[in-house]
Amino acid sequence: MKPWGGRFKGKTDPLLERFSASIDYDQALYRYDIEGSKAHTEMLNRIGVLTKEEMKDIAAALDEIQKEIEMGIFTFSSSLEDIHMHIEARLIEKTGEAGKKLHTGRSRNDQVSLDTRMYLKDQLKRVEESLMGLLKGLLQKAEKEKETIMPGYTHMQKAQVVTFSHYLMAYYYMFKRDRERLQNILRGIDVMPLGSGALAGSTMPLDRDFVRKKLGFARVSENSMDSVSDRDFVVDAIYGAAMAMMHMSRLSEDLIIFSSNEAAFVALPDALCTGSSLMPHKKNPDALELIRGKASRVISDLFSIFTILKGLPMTYNRDLQEDKEPLFHAIETVKESLAVMTLCIAGMKADRKRMERAVRESYMPAVEMAEYLTLKGVPFREAHGIVGRLVRDCEEKGKPFKNLTITTLKKFSPLFEKDVFASIDPQAILKNRKTEGAASFKEVERQINAEKVYCNR
Ligand code: ARG
């Protein structure tokens, strides 16, 4: 007999039972469901619905059920649909009359919202911890590579000299935003929906604030209809995960290029690469490729939840049950990817010589050469043209900047003096950049020191 079986004459079609069951995946909510039921039980005792005796029986039985689930001896069956019905049915088996009172003033509609919010409060903290791990890893690497110079790219073309440290800090700030985003999202999740019932609240004198305090929520939901139909917090959580995945995917893409045979700026640790079944020499960056691939599936999770919600009338509709698979998938994937990414960052080795050579074999100091002329009063647009013509000339003659003589330079502008060579030296450039946030030794040092404080507090 199903808990809702009263008004039905016939049996549910077994096909529908299987079709509508969510137990295969929503059993992940069991701990939160039990904790929520315990708080509800205590509240029912306070308002006189349950005797002290009944309250104790229920709490003890819920503990037993938790153990049964954790020991793997709990029987799941699709005829009981979801985790809420499984736990309640088992509770009634164990406690009889007392267990039958547990669902007073409660619906699975507010219960599932509560469970999902509790799950997210717990899980997003773990995601946040993993993000902190990655932040610390990036910061450590950045500190180690403070002196390492490398080309900075736009359009995948060498653009201006930077340090590897500055590059790593760029990702550091991306992931720091992800962490702050999660903290904001957590504030939106911290709302206690129980007491909203199926959609309209209850004539029972439920003490919602007691349950809120018991479960450690910041506030209770304002509107019972909104409470049970709202999944904005699920969208937010998946969005937070998708954003972090997108960032990891970009970093993966970079590191795949940087570890290619052509660039060979970094070597990835053996432990995070795999070989080929045919080509004996291969070492493939699979971990990074998988992060890049998995990012697309988490982004799809975000599409899924949006499209589940966009056509739903007030209030609860069974479509909402479909929120869990994308949500769980997004959270699990971002957690695992962060752990793998952190290992990649810690284990990769920078080839400082190759990075430096890539800087020296380039016309990247053209910018600083134009700025040299600008500092001598040449309008920038004109200086840009002069240096542009110089680069074209060098390219045609196959001559790198470092072989330029002052005689050649003077042909392009009489304002060039010998000191121009000092100002286009990569080291000098990294010393001379003056703007806040610039790729300069000083600014990167400042960022690292400030962020050490952030990471250790
Ligand atoms: N398993 C359902 C879900 O995840 C719980 C709520 C079911 N409510 C209902 N009226 N059928 O959404």
Query: Coil, strand or helix: which one is 278?
Result: coil
Query: Coil, strand or helix: which one is 226?
Result: helix
Q: Which fold has domain 109-357?
A: Fumarase C; Chain A, domain 2 (1.20.200)
Q: What is the Cα 192 distance to its own chain's centre?
A: 24
Q: Give me the phi and psi of 147, to 5 degrees please.
A: -95, -5
For ligand 1, is residue 228 a contact (CB within 6 Å)?
Answer: no
Q: Is 276 noted as a catalytic residue in this protein?
A: yes
Are the beta carbons of 371 and 163 closer than 8 angstroms?
no
pLDDT for the residue 279:
87
Q: Which fold has domain 362-456?
A: Ribonucleotide Reductase Protein R1; domain 1 (1.10.40)
Write out pLDDT tens, residues 151-177.
999 999 999 999 999 999 999 999 999
- Indicate whether 122 pLDDT > 80: yes
For ligand 1, is residue 320 a contact (CB within 6 Å)?
Answer: yes
Question: Which CATH number does the domain 5-104 belong to among 3.30.470.10, 1.10.275.10, 1.10.260.40, 1.25.40.10?
Answer: 1.10.275.10
Ligand 1 centre and the CA of 318: distance in Å?
6
For ligand 1, is residue 22 a contact (CB within 6 Å)?
Answer: yes
Can you give the pTM of this predicted structure?
A: 0.95
Write out pLDDT tens, residues 203-237.
999 999 999 999 999 999 999 999 999 999 999 99
Between CA 284 and CA 290, with CA 286 as vertex, the angle to 5 degrees is 155
Torsion of CA 417, 418, 419, 422, to 10 degrees: 140
pLDDT for the residue 255:
98
- Indicate whether 320 pLDDT > 80: yes
pLDDT for the residue 405:
94
Q: What's the rounded mean pLDDT across residues 121-125?
A: 98
Kindly state the tokens that stand for 410: 């003077």
Kindly state the tokens that stand for 375: 């500092």
Write out pLDDT tens, residues 350-377.
999 999 999 999 999 999 999 999 999 9
pLDDT for the residue 204:
97
Q: Is 329 noted as a catalytic residue in this protein?
A: no
Q: List the domain boundaries for the chain.
A: 5-104, 109-357, 362-456
DSSP 74: P
In Å, what is the CA distance from 3 to each residue of 35, 81, 108, 127, 225? 21, 11, 11, 36, 23
Q: Which of 79, 155, 296, 440 is catalytic?
A: 155
pLDDT for the residue 6:
85
